[in-house]
Structure 1
Amino acid sequence: MGSEAKTIAKGIQKISFIDKVKPHVELIAAGLSGVLIAVGWLFDQYNQEADSIIAYLLAFVIGGFFKAKEGIEATYENKDLNVEMLMIFAAVGSAIIGYWTEGAILIFIFAVSGALETYTMNKSHKEISSLMELQPEEALLLINGIEKKVAVSELRVGDHILIKPGERVPADGVIIKGRTNIDEAAITGESMPVSKGNEDEVFAGTVNLSGSITVQVTKASNDTLFQKIIQLVQSAQSEKSPSQQFIERFEGTYVKIVLLVVIAMFFLPHFLLGWSWHESFYRAMILLVVASPCALVASIMPATLSAISNGARHGILFKGGVHLENLSHLGAIAFDKTGTLTKGKPEVTEVIVKNGLDQDTLIWKAASIENHSNHPLAQAIVKYAKQTTGKDLLHPDSLEDVPGWGIKAEIAGEQWKIGKAAFVGRETAENAADPGDVRAKELASQGNTLVYIEINGETSAIIALKDVVREETKVAIDQLKKHGIQTVMLTGDSEKTARAIASESHVDEFFAECLPETKVDHLRQLKTKYQTVGMVGDGINDAPALAIANVGIAMGEGTDVALETADVVLMKNDLPRIAEAVSLSQRMNRIIKQNVIFSISVIVLLISSNFFQFIDLPFGVIGHEGSTILVILNSLRLLRN
């Protein structure tokens, strides 16, 4: 048994070593090719021509294997030539005319640039691979109070699982017992832990930091939010941007043109300019190298992948390069109000109480009555009372709900009415003599909804409630304005409320009393005026508007619904991330533009130098392949924060 265990251990170590080496095999092959070139050059110095050629041939085969394989497979699959084939022709041509060293150097530098491009791809996928490793493979299933360790794939909806401090959450679910702090950085990109208790959602891949919790599983392991994020980013990385699609269409035609010009250069300079056959062939080989659009082809894809990965690491998910590219062209961006610019739930902003009455007691009794209603305003009053008084609520002696108006109740021998102004016998705050009504009028003008309280026939209090603007909204809107983007609010609220919220949130303009279909109409008008328009919403009731916008941005808050409805998803309801996404898009497009201009300039310079016989093959190789390496390195800058 001991020898068997050793054999197994050696096998595991061997597999582990292969797994570690595999991502770097292209770079290793390129390095070995470089060593063989040096060996071939040394043999050449000592006039050992046969040994020198063997070393160069090995450098050709080892260094060029991966790129040649890629080029031949792509040519066979697409029935079209590509830049890899140009490099193969150039290297073989160099060898034919006796320039073994130059041909081998071409293969070596081409192999290095290919290895670097592969490194970029691997680097851009690294965040996704590391995410996939975060989801646990096992979970503690509770069966009649007894813990049983099972594979996560065996969990079913409705199962109860125990998650201890320090463990990762194995499945999406709802806490049914316990309280803890959860690190949700893997989902939202937010480093601050979130406090969770009964009925709160938890997501697979997040970390339980403190207390033990019992969770009821709500989704199968292959349907978790975590899995959907991974699938979405993988899909985005495989989707090509318009710029990339154009370059790939351009590549096939360009390669054919280069080959035709190279063939012409075999003959025309000999007959028209008096060049020797050797010189004509030599210059044709240099043209084959320097005219190849390797750097141009590598100008876009690495930059796009790097930007998508950067966004995913910060909780900004792009569904493809096209949406990332469009963000930098935004002329205007429209926001849904509720749940986007505001918190989405009304909060008590002020309480006005008649002189002589105790505010805490009044709020406590009002909340005891409102606790029997499911209306959002009623629940906001109950929440406020629990926070301010800390008392257990009473049970009214009698209660009558008057739909559309308010609620009547008897409590502690008092007759109460809570509801609209007209419900308590008043038209508006302005028509009453109480000084508090002046303040009530101000609150109403600021977008607050007023709830009136009447006790024993007398108006005793006014409660102001409002869907409060998020703290980060103003910062986010101001950042977008700095980018020169027009900001617009679309809301179903009244003109007065919309005006107040628009002023508070700093948006440039607003449209009030919008139905879902009128939001779509407004977006069409904005697109006519600003060409490229974004829409930010909660991903559910704003789906039509998100669909019509050039870039639909959903406020995720960890909901998988948002993943289905928008082009860009903010995994946390963090509005300033939109400006970050715009900045990332601008950086990406700026780097792509730099790459394209630089690569075209190098190609034109090298072709001109070759025609005037200013450049030799080694310098053509270095200039061409060096430019490819530089544009890839430039793209890698987008992986930085």
Structure 2
Amino acid sequence: MDGVVTENKDFMSKIRPHLELINAAVSGVLILLGWYLLTAKEESRAIPVIFILAYAIGGYYKAKEGFFETFKQRRLNVELLMILAAIGSAVIGYWMEGAILIFIFGLSGALETYTMNKSHKEISALMNLQPEEAVRILDDMEETVSVKMLRVGDLLLVKPGERIPTDGKIIEGVSAIDEAAITGESIPVTRGPGDEVYASTVNLRGSLKIEMTKASDETLFSKIIALVQNAQSEKSPSQQTIEKYEGPYVSVVLISVVLMMFLPRVLLQWTFEESFYRAMVLLVVASPCALVASVTPATLAAIANGAKNGILFKGGVHLENLSKIKAVAFDKTGTLTKGKPEVTDVVLCSHVDREDFLVKIGDIERYSTHPLAGAVVSYVKKETEKTFEGVISEMEDIAGFGVKARMDGMLYKMGNRAFVDGEQGKPFMLDTVDKLAHEGKTVIYVRDEKEFLGIIALKDVVREDAILAVEALHKLGIKSVMLTGDHEKTAEAIARETGIDVYVAGCLPEKKADEIKRLEETLGKVAMVGDGINDAPALATATVGISMGEGSDVAMETADVVLMKNYLPRIADTVRLSKRMNRIVKQNMLFSVLVILTLIASNFLQQVNLPIGVVFHEGSTLLVILNGLRLLKN
């Protein structure tokens, strides 16, 4: 018995999303049956019953929605108007036309629901990726527990082929991780000890031990789901405008219908039957069904399209605003650049052996706490196979200057020119240093106690996709601006390399927000792209704030759009999607208004009958919904 109940529940859960469409289809079948009986010219008491059933079944959802919204919000709506139009058609004997009106209206509602379900499907697909259980290691014992029971600091075991249950840091093991659920990138990435991993990504190869770093409801994945859910419920400005005037418009139509029943009799000597008929036609053709359906399906389809491609919008308002952007402002570090300095040049005196030099500086820098030391050590490891084996003594880090140490009895100094050069004589490699500085690179001087040995140049390297992103924006006629806290020469070099139109150096977080305000005054609406906590004020100030998916939590929460895959050309894609959506919405609205005005005029001229009015009016509603559904495809 329990099995039968379970099967029935499963069956209902499968068909429930399609009930509105099923009702419309049944209504259509009943209309065909009624039409057949009418054309057969046989008197049948079943005909009114069949059409009444078509009304009740086809109009159930829209009638329910109309009455519910009327009582809840205390204002008239288009659903109520269409129900009255169908009833009016039946009153004057046009049973089939009224039923067709209900059928097409119900079908358009089913298509809107399909659009909503399609956008919800993106969330459902994400929700299904969330693991419900995890293997926790406690006192060297493994136990399978619910993800909800996990706490920050727990040690977890993730076997090959399993989804990672929560955000964490790898403690032991190396594996290829499929991060498509987070970034949209289909190529797996290699992760090892110390690397961060995210909930719902897939461990493809080796076993991993992971330390949990975030609660299950605070993971990056859970934030993605929340962003998409919020976006679907937030209405765009166009949608808000239509809803604002929907109630007053319906009231005007109802008053016009009442006047239509009586005024033509007095002014034009129409019969009461003709006046009443034309009033019913007006009730049908003046309904703003297509206009109301012009925005919502298109917006939901665009949001679903974005989510599918790793672009998360926090609402239709931000999606709509993107099409009006005149400039995009970029943070530098971590956005236009990789955010980690890399060694780009090593220039040595002619008598210095390169490999011996690299091993010595690597040996010293691995004990240094200077921010650039790690970049130097990484470079040395990559460039030479020799191991570090010097004996280091008298190690001293001097903040803001450099490091000095004695190795195998020889004193070495590395750092800026003032620290290394001291009073030893003329500046070292002046022309080369000026050239490197012009390229926005930081120069480290190296010498021993006898002489200068060489210089090392480092730079926060420009992301390869940054240049593509700026080019794509320029093709759309959008200016690019860089806001950075770096000094003038570095900012100039990065701007030159990426093709940025304008740059502002020396920007503190509050100054970035001020610069955004200034740009909006001079250029118009501005989008801000950033990834750090210091970018949050500017992200909040801009017309549209865009955060990188790998950015800080604060940046993601403050931004209006999140690029889950850190691929900057996606910014141009979001603008194109916005422009495409606004173009389709404008097409829909213009088409809807023209159809309504044409049908109203034709009705006053007695050039359109009720069946034609029903077909053209409801046909226009279906067309605008189908036009909006085009946004589901790229």
**Which bin holds the TM-score, normalised by the shorter protein?**
over 0.9
Between 136-145 and 339-348, the greater mean CA deviation after superposition: 136-145
Q: TM-score, normalised by structure 1?
A: 0.96
1:27 aligns with 2:21: yes
Aligned partners of 1:539 and 1:556 also within 8 Å: no
CA shift for structure 1 position 508: 0.4
Give yes or no for contact 1:290–1:624 (8 Å, CA) kept in 2. Answer: yes
CA offsets per residue over residues 480-522 of structure 1, 9 Å max, x none? 0111111111111111111111100100011111222222222
Work out the CA distance in 1 between the residues paired with 2:209 and 2:604.
75
Bigger CA drift: 529-538 or 57-66? 529-538
After superposition, the C-alpha distances for 1:577-611 in whole angstroms (9 at most, x for unaligned) are 11111111111111111111111111111111111
**Letter aligned with residue 541 of structure 1:** N
1:145 and 2:162 correspond: no
**Does the aligned pair in 1 maintain the 2:321–2:544 contact within 8 Å?**
yes
Mapping 1:79-94, distance limit 5 Å: 79-94=74-89
Residue of structure 2 in register with 1:417 after alignment = 413
Please tell me whether residue 247 in structure 1 is matched to residue 216 in structure 2.
no
Return the TM-score normalized by structure 2: 0.97
Matched, 1:312 2:313: no
Query: Which amino acid in 1 is paired with 2:531?
Result: D
Alpha-carbon contact 2:370-2:402 (below 8 Å) kept:
no
Which of 532, 535, 551 is the equivalent residue of 2:528? 535
**Paired residue for 1:3?**
none
Q: How does 1:61-460 map to 2 (within 5 A)?
A: 61-394=56-389, 395-425=391-421, 431-432=426-427, 436-460=429-453
Partner of 2:6: 12
Q: 1:198 to 1:147 in 2, by over 3 A?
A: same
Give CA deviations for 1:290-335 in whole Å, capped at 9, x if unaligned: 1100111111111111111111122211111111111110111111
The answer to whether structure 1 residue 463 and structure 2 residue 456 are counterparts is: yes
- In the alignment, the residues of structure 2 paired with residue 428 and residue 220 of structure 1 have an alpha-carbon distance, to the nearest angstrom, of 57
Choose which of 610, 621, 624 in structure 2 pairs with 1:628: 621
Provide Cα deviations, 1:227-269, integer angstroms capped at 9, x if missing partner.
1111111011101111111000011111001111111100111
Residue 600 of structure 2 is aligned to residue 607 of structure 1: yes
Q: Which moved more, 1:16-25 or 1:159-168?
A: 159-168
Q: Give, in whole Å, the separation in 2 of the partners of 1:195 and 1:454.
A: 38
* RMSD of Structure 2 on Structure 1 (CA): 1.6
Over 3 Å counting, the alpha-carbon distance change for 1:390 and 1:16 in structure 2 is farther
- CA change 1:382–1:620 in 2 (3 A) is same
Find the counterpart in structure 2 of residue 560 from structure 1. 553
Q: Which residue of 2 aligns with 1:4?
A: none
1:577 matches 2:573: no
| Distance in 1 separating the partners of 2:386 and 2:259 | 93
Letter in 2 for 1:139: A
Cα deviation, residue 413, structure 1? 2.2
Change (3 A) 1:143 1:251: same
Are the equivalent residues in 2 in contact too, given 1:554–1:570 (CA < 8 A)?
yes
State the distance in 1 between where 2:8 and 2:209 align: 40
Task: Give structure 2 stretches of 5+ with no counterpart.
Answer: none
State the distance in 2 between where 1:94 and 1:403 align.
Answer: 86
Aligned length: 632
Residue 517 in structure 1 maps to residue 510 in structure 2: yes
Contact 1:162–1:212 (Cα < 8 Å) also in 2: yes
Residues 395-444 of structure 1: CA deviation (Å, up to 9, x unaligned): 41321222221111111222101111111226999x54x6x543332111
Distance 1:172 1:216 in 2: 9
Q: Distance in 2 between matches of 1:351 and 1:39?
A: 86
Shift of the alpha carbon at 1:477? 0.3
SS in 2 for 1:472: helix
Q: Is the 8 A contact 1:477 1:487 kept in 2?
A: yes
Determine if the alignment matches structure 1 residue 43 to structure 2 residue 52: no
Report the identity percentage.
59
Distance 1:324 1:139, change over 3 A: same
> Does the aligned pair in 2 maintain the 1:540–1:565 contact within 8 Å?
no
Return the letter of the residue paired with 2:13: D
| CA positional deviation for 1:560 | 3.3
Partner Cα separation in structure 2 for residue 11 and residue 141 of structure 1: 36
